[in-house]
A and B are shown apart, each in its own frame.
Chain A
Amino acid sequence: AQKITQTQPGMFVQEKEAVTLDCTYDTSDPSYGLFWYKQPSSGEMIFLIYQGSYDQQNATEGRYSLNFQKARKSANLVISASQLGDSAMYFCAMREGPNTDKLIFGTGTRLQVFP
């Protein structure tokens, strides 16, 4: 069964440092997509980055990059040059196959950035 695992309930990072948030997934479908969302304390879900299973290169969006290791079924989010505003909950999610838009979410990682 498809599953997303985030093993870090909480992470701390100092401002301006880089941080990696871990995400592993389990699927038997060769076609899937991986998402990362940020949820600040206000509650909304903010899309950060997407990686398709057939994408040859790792996705990048500004300070966010996705370290996609297909053989290991991992899709870690790397945030470079952390800012205080990065403090939030981060969710990894997967969409499996081409015929559904259902997202399977991990349990999230709470990131706290300190000065």
Chain B
Amino acid sequence: EAQVTQNPRYLITVTGKKLTVTCSQNMNHEYMSWYRQDPGLGLRQIYYSMNVEVTDKGDVPEGYKVSRKEKRNFPLILESPSPNQTSLYFCASSFLGQGADGYTFGSGTRLTVV
């Protein structure tokens, strides 16, 4: 089954404790990105990658890191999480510029930083 797999689904952590949210896709998509969703703001892009070893900032990159060492994986790293990073996070992947075909979201990761 074609899918984007995010882990974990739920995470509660403490301020300053480094964490990684994993994202993996099995569709050989070139493009992968991370979004965060906050009430009243919709989803906003954090980082994106157009292929292996090619990453760039989205609209809200502060406090996050990413890497793309393999085509299928695109982890999101919070080196020192803070309470304002409490949010619902989505990973997404697609073939670049192919309409709606194959644009796939993961199931989301609900992160709480206390």
Residues in chain A within 8 A of chain B (CB atoms): 4, 33, 35, 37, 43-45, 47, 50, 52, 91, 93, 98-103, 105-108
A73 CA / B14 CA spacing, docked (Å):
44
If A45-B90, A52-B99 touch, does A91 touch B107 (CB 8 Å cutoff)? no
Asked if A108 and B42 sit within 8 Å, CB to CB, the answer is yes
Inter-chain pairs besides A33-B100, A50-B99, A105-B44, 20 sampled, C-beta below 8 Å: A4-B42, A35-B100, A43-B108, A43-B110, A44-B107, A47-B105, A91-B43, A98-B97, A99-B96, A99-B97, A100-B97, A101-B31, A101-B33, A101-B48, A102-B48, A103-B43, A105-B35, A105-B43, A107-B41, A107-B42
Write the chain A residue with the least CB distance to B93: A101
Interface of A, helix, strand, loop or mixed by DSSP:
loop
Cβ contacts under 8 Å, B58 to chain A: 102
- Number of inter-chain CB pairs below 8 Å: 56
Q: How many residues does chain B have at the interface if contact means C-beta atoms less than 8 Å apart?
A: 24
Cβ contacts under 8 Å, A50 to chain B: 99-100
A43, A93, A99, A101, most chain B CB atoms within 10 A: A101
Residues in chain B within 8 A of chain A (CB atoms): 31, 33, 35, 40-45, 48, 58, 88, 90, 92, 94, 96-97, 99-100, 103, 105, 107-108, 110
Cβ contacts under 8 Å, B88 to chain A: 43
If A43-B88, A91-B43, A107-B41 touch, does A101 touch B103 (CB 8 Å cutoff)? yes
Task: Return 20 A-B CB contacts under 8 Å, by A number.
Answer: A4-B42, A33-B99, A35-B100, A43-B107, A43-B108, A45-B105, A45-B108, A50-B99, A50-B100, A91-B42, A99-B96, A99-B97, A100-B96, A101-B48, A101-B94, A101-B97, A102-B33, A103-B92, A103-B103, A107-B41
